Structure 1
Amino acid sequence: MSYPDAFSLKGKVALVTGASYGIGFALASALAEAGATIAFNDVNEEFLAKGIEAYKAAGIDAKGYICDVTDEPGVQKLVADIEKDLGPVDILVNNAGIIRRTPMHEMDVKDFRQVIDIDLTAPFIVAKAVIPGMIKKGGGKIINICSMMSELGRETVSAYAAAKGGLKMLTRNIASEYGSLNIQCNGLGPGYIETPQTAPLREPGHPFNSFILAKTPANRWGTTQDLKGPAVFLASPASDFVNGHVLYVDGGILAYIGKQP
């Protein structure tokens, strides 16, 4: 296989969950640019319609579906519909997720469970749904969107950190259980990324912006562009002997103790 072909996704069907906007949209766009056919979901018609328009504006013919990834029968139907419309799923990106920033001693148990359900249980449900098709086809790629909170703790994110830490171990276990069947499951761990949601935090002089710049050897926030190459790598034949790994795209934060005050 030639070097360019090792990164080609031509003929592959990729399901990217929660990919109407933000990081999910960027990841799906990267896979499309590498040749994959894109399927994505969102939880309601409004978000789905906005996502379809965004893909059209980017020149990408993506197929959108309404689905709650915490609903196992709904996910099973989603995967069956994708297989009927586009073909079996070759690449799964478990991107859908939420965060609730609440001090642990003030957090309601139902809110904790909601984060765990969406950020950890849902990736299990969706992976479970696509793995039989991958086995039948002779292989596949699963990319779980982890986080630096898969490794670190922070104030107010107990549920998110618990979920993302669990997702790291789910990633390793899928790799362990299905690696012999040519299924590679890896994690992609974004650092602090420039998105519309983080715009207020990135204002010059904002304490959080100063904190992130001081903690990042690259001395900048990441961009969605920074995530595209790693995503294509993990989805492509180039990573066929990479399994159970979490690739952190964080500008070096996890390697760095920070500047001395």
Structure 2
Amino acid sequence: MFDLSGKVAIVTGGNGGIGLGIARGLASAGAALMLVGRDAAKTERAVAELAATGATASAAIADVTVEADCRGFAEAALQRHGRIDILVNNAGTNWRKPPQDYSLEEWRALIDANLTSTFLASMAVFPTLQCQRAGKIVNIGSMTSIFGASFAAPYSASKGGVVQFTKACATAWAEHGIQVNAILPGWIDTELTQQGRVQVPGLNERVLARTPAGRWGVPDDLAGTAVYLSSRASDFVTGAAIPVDGGYSSQA
């Protein structure tokens, strides 16, 4: 039920952090991977890591905020792997400061990186999934999709948008056999959140105090949920947004 053998998955931002953790999980379930990233060297290293485990993997160097680039990696996946079954919209970024300190350019850049990219990549693979009458799209939101963070206004807005976009596509594309769901990571130990611990005083202590699991997550903690949402085990699950946060969002 969770076997992904013969399936092809595209993971945007799959060259590190949460994206690479998810890619490792999908590969362990049998999927072939295309990792999409802007940094060619970093992406090739991630592909080599997966290949060393026996996985089939390739790299696509692309900017997911550019429509032509998204169409390009979808076409490349078809050419190299022959099909597309799964899209994980993981690419994104964040800068932390009070809402009033963001410029319009920064606001637009974050919305594009986190939300517009999800739209563009989904539109790039939709014709293939529609033709197959089957497919899985997994969008990476955030616990800030549920509640705000004083130091991440545009990020929170973009990730809230990811959840609503997920629900809209789920209802629109169910007739085509496509399931669209979201994962909402909590505080996961990545390069991005390591920067956050420097930028936001006391963040580490507050996270540990509020998380019932008593620790920060690691990228591989997302893998199981991603495999579930990418497999036939979730064929009757669509429009869901599943927190993977050690219980952080369940606390009052």
User: What TM-score range do you get, normalising by the shorter chain?
Assistant: over 0.9
The structure 1 residue matched to 2:242, chosen from 234, 243, 247, is 247
Equivalent-residue separation in structure 2 for 1:17 and 1:171 (angstroms) = 16
Alignment correspondent of 1:13 = 8
**Which residue does the alignment assign to 2:116?**
121
What displacement does 1:139 show? 0.8
Structure 1 residue 222: deviation in Å?
Answer: 1.5
Query: Residue 16 of structure 1: SS of its match in structure 2?
Result: strand
Following the alignment from structure 1 to structure 2, what is the Cα–Cα distance between the partners of residues 197 and 164?
15
**Structure 1 residue 220, shift from structure 2 partner:** 1.6
Q: Distance in 1 between matches of 2:148 and 2:53?
A: 37
> What amino acid is aligned across from residue 80 of structure 2 in structure 1?
D
Instruction: Answer yes or no: is the 8 Å Cα contact 1:201–1:209 preserved in 2.
Output: no
Residue 188 to residue 137, structure 1, CA distance change in 2 (3 Å): same
Among candidates 186, 204, 222, match of residue 209 of structure 1: 204
Which one-letter code corresponds to 1:120 in the other structure?
Answer: L
Give a deviation string over 1:28-74, Cα, whole Å, max 9, x none. Answer: 11001001000011113232233233323444331001111111112
**Aligned with residue 48 of structure 1, among 28, 43, 59:** 43
- Distance (Å, rounded) in 1 between the aligned partners of 2:10 and 2:218: 22
Give me the whole-angstrom Cα distance separating, in 1, the residues matched to 2:20 and 2:54.
13
- SS of 1:129's equivalent in the other structure is helix
Secondary structure at the residue paired with 1:221?
coil
Distance in 1, Cα, partners of 2:68 & 2:204: 42
Quick check: 51-60 or 185-194, which moved more? 51-60
| Separation (CA, whole Å) in 2 of partners of 1:199 and 1:76 | 32
SS in 1 for 2:136: strand
**1:171 and 2:181 correspond:** no
Matches of 1:237 and 1:61, distance apart in 2: 21
RMSD: 1.7
1:4-83 to 2 correspondences below 5 Å = 6-83=1-78
CA–CA separation in structure 2 for the residues paired with 1:24 and 1:160: 18
> After the TM superposition, which residues 211-250 of structure 1 pair with which residues of structure 2 at under 5 Å, given as runs?
211-250=206-245
Q: 1:200 to 1:116 in 2, by over 3 A?
A: closer
Matched residue SS, 1:184: strand
Post-superposition Cα deviations, 1:148-190, rounded to whole Å, max 9, x if no partner, equal: 0101111121110010000000000000100121100000111
8 A contact 2:217–2:246 mirrored in 1: yes
State the distance in 2 between where 1:198 and 1:170 align.
25
- Given that 2:20 and 2:219 are in contact with CA atoms closer than 8 Å, whether structure 1 keeps it comes out as no
Provide TM-score, normalisation by structure 1: 0.91
- TM-score norm. by structure 2 comes to 0.94
Q: Distance in 1 between matches of 2:37 and 2:11?
A: 10
- Aligned with 2:97: secondary structure? coil
